[in-house]
Structure 1
Amino acid sequence: MRYAINFTPSAADPLTIAASQWLGRNAFSGEAMELPFIRDLGLHEIAFNTAVPRRYGFHGTLKPPFRLVEGVSEAMLLRQMMHFTGQYQPIALPPLEVVRLGNRFALAPAVPCAELNHLAAAVVMHFDSFRAPMSEAELERVDTERLSAAQFANLHRFGHPHVMDEFRFHMTLTGPVGAAEMPRFEAVLKRYFEPILQRRQQLANLALFIEQEPGAPFLVHSLHPLGSVSARRIA
C-alpha cells in the first residue's frame, strides 16, 4: 500500500469535475467518467493519452507516493496530518494555465508562488519520517542518468528527484503526447480548461491519496483543511 500527500480541489469544485471528465475517472469516488465530446479530438485519442494520469487522479503532488515505514500506522499518519495542517493557512494560488512539461501537458501556476513552494518543502520534510526507504528494485527503475546532481541527491534523501528546490507544482493532464499531436492537444486543452480557470483556486487542504495495491488506481482517502481548528470553525 502506498500513500501520497497532494492538493486537489473539493469533489464539487468545477475544476475537479472538468478534470475528472477529461481524465475519465473521479479520484474521490473511483468511478469512471464519461469523456467529454471535444471538437478536433476523438474520444479514443483522449482515452489513450490520459491513461497514465487517469490512474493517479487529478491532483498536484506535494509528497510523492511512499510506503509507510515499519512501525508507523495509517492512523498515526492521519493524526500527524491533522496536526500539520493546523500550522498553515490556505494559500491563494496564482492563476493556473495549461503548460507543456516536456511531452506532457499539465495545469501550473502562471507565475511562481513562494508560499506554495514553502508548503511543499515543509510537507516533504515533515512527513519523511513516515516514508519507508526505497527498495533496490525501486531505485533500479529510476533513470538516474537523466538526473542532475541535485535531483540525484533528492532521490536518495527524500525518495524522489523532483522535490525541494527541484519542485514545480503542476496538475498532470496527459501522458506523453506525440510531437506531431502536441499543437492540437494544446489548443484543445486551452479551449476546454481556460473558461474554468478564470476562477482562481485556493489551496485550502491537503489530500491524502491511497494506492491499495501495486498498480491500483489512486483514490482520495481524506481531505485535511489548512488552518487552525478555531479558524476553521469561524469560517
Structure 2
Amino acid sequence: MRYAIHFTPPSGDPLTLAAAGWLGRNVYSGEAVEHPALRGLGVHEIAFHTALPRRYGFHATLKAPFHLHSDLVEAAMLRDLMRFAGTLEPFELPRLEIARLGDFFGLVLQRPCPELDYLAAAVVQEFDAFRAPLTEAEIERRNPEGLSAPQFANLYRWGHPYVMDEFRFHMPLTGPLAPFEFPRIEEALRAHFAPVLSEPVDFSNLALFVEKEPGAPFQVHSLHPMGRISARKIA
C-alpha cells in the first residue's frame, strides 16, 4: 500500500464534481462517472486522454506517494495528520485557471501564493519520517538524469524532486498529449470547467490518499480539517 498527502476540495464541492465528470471517476467513492458531452471531443477521447490522472484522482500533490516506513503504523500517521492539520489556518486559494504544463493540461493558480508554498514545504518535512526510503529501482524510475541539481537533491532527501523551491501547485487533468491535440483539448477543458472556476476555492483540509495495491487507483482515505476544533465549531 502507498499513501499520499494531497489537497482536494470536499466531496460535494462543484469543482470536485466537475473534475469527477471530466476524469471519469469520483476520487472519494472510487466509482466511475460518466464523461461530459462536449462539442468537438468524443467521450472515448476524453477517456483516453484522462487515463493517467483518473488513476491518481483529482488532487494537488503535497507529499507525493510513499510506502509507510516499516517501523511505523497507519494509526500513528493519522493521529499526526489530524494534529498537524489542526495547527494550520484555512485560507482561500488564488483563482484557478486551465493551463498547459509541458505536454499536459491542469489547473494552476493565477498568481503565487506564499502561504500555500509554506504549507506544502511544511507537509513534506513533517511527514517525511513516515516515508520508507526509496529503493534504487524507485529512484531510477524517476529518471534522475533529467533532473536539475536541486530536483536531484530533493529526490534523494525528500523522495520527490518537485518540493520546496521546486514546488508548483497544479491539479492534473490530462495525460501527455501530442502538440496537435493541444487546441482541441484546451477548448474542451475551458468549456467544461468555466462554470466552476469563477468561484473561490478554500484550502481548508489535508487529504490522505491511498493506493491499496500496485497499480490500483488512488482514493481519498480521509480528510483532515485545518484549524482548531474550537474555531471550527464556532464557525
TM exceeding 0.5:
yes
Matched, 1:42 2:58: no
Alignment of 1:123-202 (within 5 A): 123-202=123-202
TM-score by length of 2: 0.99
Question: Per-residue displacement from partner, 1:159-180 (whole Å, max 9, x unpaired)?
Answer: 0000110000011100001110
Residue identity opposite 1:27 in structure 2: V
Alignment of 1:1-235 (within 5 A): 1-235=1-235
Q: Letter of the aligned partner of 2:63 in structure 1?
A: K
Which residue identity lines up with residue 14 of structure 2 in the other structure?
Answer: P
**What is the alpha-carbon distance in structure 1 between the residues aligned to residue 95 and residue 189 of structure 2?**
16
1:154 to partner: Cα distance: 0.2
Partner deviation per Cα, 1:36-94 (whole Å, 9 max, x = no partner) = 10011011110010000000110111110011111111100000001101111002100
Structure 1 counterpart SS, 2:77: helix
Structure 1's unaligned 5+ residue stretches are: none
Query: Structure 1 CA distance, aligned partners of 2:99 and 2:183?
Result: 12
Q: How many residue pairs end up in the alignment? A: 235
Task: Give 1:184's aligned amino acid.
Answer: R
Offset at residue 225 of structure 1 (A): 0.4
Deviating 4+ runs (over 4 angstroms): none
CA distance in 1, matches of 2:38, 2:49: 14
Unmatched segments (≥5 aa) in structure 2: none
| SS of the residue 1:71 aligns to | coil
Distance in 2, matches of 1:78 and 1:148, equals: 33
**C-alpha displacement at 1:187, in angstroms?**
1.4
CA distance in 2, matches of 1:228, 1:61: 23
Give the Cα separation in 1 of the matches to 2:117 and 2:194.
Answer: 24
CA distance in 2 between partners of 1:211 and 1:142 (Å): 18
Give TM-score scaled by structure 1 length.
0.99
User: How many angstroms apart in 1 are the aligned matches of 2:191 and 2:27?
Assistant: 23
Question: Partners in 1 of 2:201 and 2:195 — Cα distance?
Answer: 13
Q: Percent identity over the alignment?
A: 61
RMSD: 0.7
Q: How far is the alpha carbon of 1:144 from its aligned partner?
A: 1.3
